[in-house]
Amino acid sequence: MLLNLEVRSQLKDIFSKELKEKVRLRLFSQAIACESCQIVEELLKELAEVEKEKLEVVVHSPLIEKDVAQAYGIERVPTIVIEGDKDYGIRYVGVPGGLEFSTLIQGIVQVSKREPKLSERTLEFISAIDKPIEIMVFVTTTCGYCPAAAVMAMNFAIASDYIKAIIVDASENMDLAELYQVVGVPKIVINKGLVEFVGAQPENAFLGYVMAAYEKLKKEG
C-alpha cells in the first residue's frame, strides 16, 4: 500500500469537495525495462479506490497498443495523461512521488473542474494563440517550487487547445535534462527551446514567456 490511511482520508476529503466531473487517468506503461511503471500503476489504482465514481484509471502498453500511444504522442514510459471529456494535452512523465504528488492531485482537480485557474486577462491573451505550443516543465520530487510551475503549465493547457503541458521528472529522464541543460528546477522549455526560463514564475511572467514564444512562432510563419 503506497497511500496510508491518513493520506487516503485527506484525499477523500479533497476529492469530495473539489472534484466536479469525471477524470480519466491514462497510464502508458510496460512490464519490461521500466522499474517505475509498476509503482505508478499501483499509485493510480490506489487513487481510484479513494474516489471510485469520478476517477478512472486505464492502463495502456505502448508496445501492444501502438495506435493509442501514437494518438497520445507517447514517447516514454511511465507517462500519465490526465483527461476529462477531452484530452487537454496534459502529460506527466515519471513517478509523481514526493512533493510532485501534489502536482498530480492539483492536475486532477483542475481537469475535473473543466476550467483553468487563471485570470481573465491571461485567458484573453491565451485565446489569441493559434499555433501549437508545448510547455515542458522539468521537475524533481524534492523541489518545493516545482508543483507551482507544473500546475501553472497545466492550467495553460486547459485554457487552450493549442497548448500542451508536459511535466518531466528530470532525475528519471536524464537524457532530456542533459539535452535542455537542466541545472536548476523548475526549468521550463517552450517548443523545444524556442523560449526557456527557470523558476516558479507568477502567472503574469509565465504568460509573458508563453506569448513571447507565440510571437516568435508567428514570425517564423
Angle of the 35-50 helix axis to the 5-18 helix axis, nearest 10: 60
Average pLDDT over residues 16-32: 97
Is residue 202 over pLDDT 90? yes
Q: Which of 31-35, 147-151, 162-166 has the lowest mean pLDDT?
A: 31-35
Selection from 76, 107, 106, 109 nearest residue 93 by Cα: 76
Is residue 221 over pLDDT 80? no
Average pLDDT over residues 44-53: 97
> Which domains are present in the chain?
1-86+96-113 (3.40.30.10), 115-221 (3.40.30.10)
Average pLDDT over residues 50-58: 97
How high is the pLDDT of residue 148? 98
Average pLDDT over residues 68-89: 98
Model confidence, pTM = 0.97
| Rounded percentage of the chain residues whose pLDDT exceeds 70 | 100
Name the average pLDDT for the chain. Answer: 97
Please report the beta strands in 67-162, taking only residues with DSSP state E, as ranges in sequence order. 79-83, 87-93, 133-139
Unique residue bearing C-alpha cell 500503476:
41
